[in-house]
Amino acid sequence: MFLGERLKQKQLITDDDIEQILAIQQQSSMGQRQRFGELCISHGLCSEQDVLIALHEQLELPMMADVLSQYFGDDLPGNELALSLFQAQWWQQRQAFPLHRDGDQILVAQADIWDDFVFEALLHQHQLQATPVLCSNYELRQLISGFDAERQAGNALIEQESSAAPVVKFVNECIQRAIKENASDIHFEVNKQQFFVRYRVDGVLRTVDQPGMAQHAAILSRIKLMAGLDISEKRLPQDGRIRVRLSGQQVDIRVATTPTVYGENAVLRLLANENTHKPEEKQKTLDMLPDQKAIIEEILHKKTGIFLVTGPTGSGKTTSLYTLLGRVNDDQTKIITVEDPVEYQMKGLTQIQVNADIGLTFASVLRSALRQDPDIMLIGEMRDKETAQIAVQSALTGHFVLSTLHTNDAPSSFIRLKDIGIPDYLIKSTIVGVMAQRLVRKLCPHCKRPDPNGDQAAHQVGFADVQQNWGALLPADIQWYKASPEGCEHCNSTGYHGRLAIFELLGWSDAETAELDMRQLQAVAREQNMRSLRQDALMRAARGETTLEEVLRVVG
């Protein structure tokens, strides 16, 4: 069975995709014709791993992960075998690396398993029978990067010119791996003579690759080209957007480049889209404790007013707002969103993206949106007085408005609105609720372990108050856990897998307080028995969902 048929059998590509790839192959000259699998990867039809697995089944060749597991455990092989056969530069030029020798048999990881040159050289010069091992470009770079520094000198040009690992494939591979590992951002960062690729997974950055400095300019140019940016402009920051098909899936990516003293950096924010985030799936993400759910239900039943969600960038504010929209989105309700940019796409909503370059500002769009007879409006952010005034006017004229604000906690939102320039009486008469939130990492259920010092540590950070006020929501037998230092395969060896939101929720009515100052606002919060972010996080830790270390990392 041909490779295309196997990929089709796995429902990774279609007959039309096969015809498209074959047509591209026929248009190429024989000497430059790319393999079928390479074209599938570069055109985003399937991932590199999909192609490798299909080749493994078709040709019955070993996979590198299996070879490493059999002979080296969790380690990578050393360079001794490779350097006993040929110089480091030779292996880099051929994009190959010997893994294991058994008598006259040798296993060799190769970027191009059809390259007979390595096979012939090992046979004629060392009388070795080579078996190609299927490996990804990333796995091969890990092996080759292990050569001594002096043997790597002068090889940057070779790496740059290697046709086995083109820049297009590298960038696609970075995005595909990020999606697979549930990363929210990809950072391409250049430092002094170093170029890093880092993923932000569950809110924490980690380095996943270190391509050569010689590839920096080409990789940044490829990203700019995909995002429709000016590839010749390297002195100014640029923002763009990519919509790409990878592994048969539409992926929306927000791109931001910025110049640094060592060169340009780029950050790619992987945005949710209609295919990957259905409303019923997002419904599960707003995972609140019962007392907070009751307050949210009461707020959602109000037909007018402003509900604010606060927190720093990346704290899940937009996800929470769209979760709430999913609750009220039906055929009887007209919902308009005004955002910069539109990060989620949801069926049934009228979604408008701000574009200040052509005069399509928040204020101008909101005025127009009000003439579209909406019942509910989502404003991406209250960032200035004009936007806030329109939101207030909308609430006063019978609309329900959802929006975000950048403050540290829920009570501070009222002070922030005053600072923007909204009078006290308008704030008090339009706000119906404020919710601050953060994201904490969830413990990996497969490798978490009991924390013997949990009771003592928890009481040092105020858990006694939590027990006194919300003990009914806690398990009868509290067991504290900590993350496994070595992790496991389910959590990428981090000890954590996924994130959950912690909340600080304040319901509001006009009669709550006479003055909008922090002392009065905090008194209202106490009267409502509002949990702070730290207290809510401690409850999550007491329920075995996260760790005390993670609570302190996020909320201090």
Give pLDDT tens digits along the chain (556 positions): 788 888 888 888 888 888 888 888 887 665 556 788 888 877 778 878 888 999 999 999 999 888 988 888 767 888 889 999 998 888 888 889 999 999 999 999 998 888 889 999 999 999 999 999 999 887 888 788 777 443 443 343 335 434 334 688 788 888 888 888 888 899 999 988 889 999 998 888 888 888 878 889 999 999 998 888 999 899 999 988 887 776 666 778 889 999 999 999 999 998 754 444 444 444 444 788 999 999 999 998 888 999 999 998 888 898 899 999 988 888 899 999 998 877 777 888 999 988 877 888 888 888 888 888 899 999 988 888 888 999 999 999 999 999 999 888 899 999 999 999 999 999 999 999 999 999 999 999 999 999 999 999 999 999 999 999 999 999 989 999 999 988 888 888 889 998 999 999 998 876 676 678 888 888 888 888 899 999 999 999 999 999 999 999 998 8
Helices (H), 384-473: 385-396, 412-420, 424-430, 454-460, 463-470
Cα dihedral 221, 206, 50, 54 sign:
positive
pLDDT at position 275 is 40
Region of residue 11 (phi > 0: left; psi between -120 and 50: alpha; otherwise: beta):
left
Distance separating alpha carbons of residues 495 and 518, to the nearest angstrom:
39
Q: 350: helix, coil or strand? A: strand
Instruction: Check: CB of residue 118 under 8 Å from CB of residue 126.
Output: no
Q: 533: helix, coil or strand? A: helix
Could you tell me what percentage of the chain is helix, strand and coil, using 3-state DSSP and rounding each to the nearest 5? Answer: 45, 25, 35
pLDDT at position 458 is 92
Partners of 435 in the β-ladder = 309, 505
pLDDT at position 154 is 39
The count of C-alpha atoms lying within 13 angstroms of the C-alpha of 235, restricted to the half-sphere facing its C-beta, is 0
- Cα dihedral 118, 121, 122, 126 in deg (nearest 10): -170
Helices (H), 397-423: 412-420
Distance separating alpha carbons of residues 182 and 201, to the nearest angstrom:
6
Distance separating alpha carbons of residues 43 and 169, to the nearest angstrom:
9
Report how far apart, in Å, the C-alpha atoms of 291 and of each of 65, 503, 518, 528, 536 are. 48, 11, 24, 11, 11
Distance separating alpha carbons of residues 142 and 326, to the nearest angstrom:
44
pLDDT at position 248 is 62
DSSP strand pairing (481-482 vs 449-450): antiparallel
